[in-house]
Amino acid sequence: MNLLRLLASRLAQALLLVVAVVVLNFALVHAAPGDPVETIAGASGGMSEELKAELRQSYGLDKPLPVQLGVYLSRVARLDLGYSYFFNLPVVDLIGERIPATLLLVLSSVICAFVAGTGIGVLAARKPNGWLSQTITVLSLVGFAAPVFWTGMLLVILFASVLPIFPVAEMRSIDGSDKGLAGVLDVLWHLVLPTFTLSLVYLAHYSRLARASMLEVLGSDFIRTARAKGLADRVVLYKHALRNAILPVVTVLGLQFGNVLAGAILVETVFNWPGLGRLAFESVLRRDYPTILGVLLLSAVVVLVMNLLTDLCYRLVDPRIQKR
């Protein structure tokens, strides 16, 4: 009951933020130098007069700005994000085509980074000055400092010439065994390097976070109590401590989703992964404004959805929150 009400208010907030992004898009189109019609069509000159007139009419560009905003908002509300004259497709279809690839990459990276990161962090917390702890410190420095597109390309160099066991580009093999289990395995095989690249950054970060938070929890009274009761070390560590230590990691994970998406844009460009990021890259190169604005809006929606999901996960891990 309470949860439902909370969810509703969260959704309302999220909706407001989405509207704000749409308004921002509208403002950007109008603030950009040049004729808004050309921006909307994503063409720089060379448009036919008929098309111009048609667009002007359908976007109400001859009316005052507030009316134009209204028209724009109602179009977006009907999932009409405009038409990409470069790809010759409605932007919504274009984006819909690319979403699954990006979600696959982002989710697999986040899950890998989360599982491996907390795992390493928890192991390291058992020996705060052991070699694993030292490794984590170094790894988190390296993980932050190495540009994700650079590590990706170093992997491309390595796996394309020296050690050709993983494919370094695209999502599927060209010979097209895309049906059934073979197709799934083929995609997973192509997923290895992009996921590894993207998760490396966050793996280092999460392991450092998990280690610090685990050390903090292990010093608290209820752990001493659990130990005093004579519980097995394993139970104390994984049942009592881990559940509490994982909370800060979940929080950061939720907050960082926008960053992961940014990383995905770069990684997709490196590995030619056919997702939203590569679409954004291609449309930027072609000055295809409707597409890039659509990708921006949709990415904001993805981040919002992920934030909501993190919040729900947080509630699952930490039942105390529901009481508030």
What is the binding site for other proteins (CB under 8 A)? 17, 20-21, 24, 28-29, 31-33, 39, 141-142, 144-150, 153-154, 156-157, 160-161, 255, 258-259, 261-262, 265-266, 269-270, 280-281, 284-285, 287, 289, 292-293, 295-296, 299-300, 303-304, 307
Nearer to other proteins, 65 or 255 (CB): 255
Phi/psi of residue 83, nearest 5 degrees: -125, 130
Instruction: Identify which of residues 157 and 185 has a Cβ nearer to other proteins in the complex.
Output: 157
Q: Which CB, 241 or 292, lies closer to other proteins?
A: 292
With contact defined as beta carbons under 8 Å apart, do 250 and 310 qualify? Answer: yes
CB of 41 to other proteins, least distance (A): 14
| Min separation Cβ 270 and other proteins, Å | 7
Closer CB to other proteins, residue 296 or residue 317? 296
Q: At what angle do helices 289-317 and 276-285 cross, to 10 degrees?
A: 160
Contact, 109 vs 58, CB < 8 A? no
Torsional class of 312: left (φ above 0), alpha (ψ -120 to 50), beta (otherwise): alpha
**Please, what is the minimum distance in Å from the beta carbon of residue 185 to other proteins?**
26
| DSSP characters over 211-242 | HHHHHHHHTSHHHHHHHHTT--HHHIIIIIIH
Name the residue with tokens 């907050």.
255
Least Å distance, CB 282 to other proteins, is 11
Nearer to other proteins, 141 or 321 (CB): 141
**Closest approach of Cβ 102 to other proteins, in Å?**
11
Q: How far is the CB of 1 from other proteins (least distance, A)?
A: 26
> What is the C-alpha separation between 215 and 237, in angstroms, rounded?
11
Q: Tell whether the torsion through CA atoms of 142, 144, 145 and 146 is positive or negative.
A: positive
144 or 222, CB closer to other proteins? 144
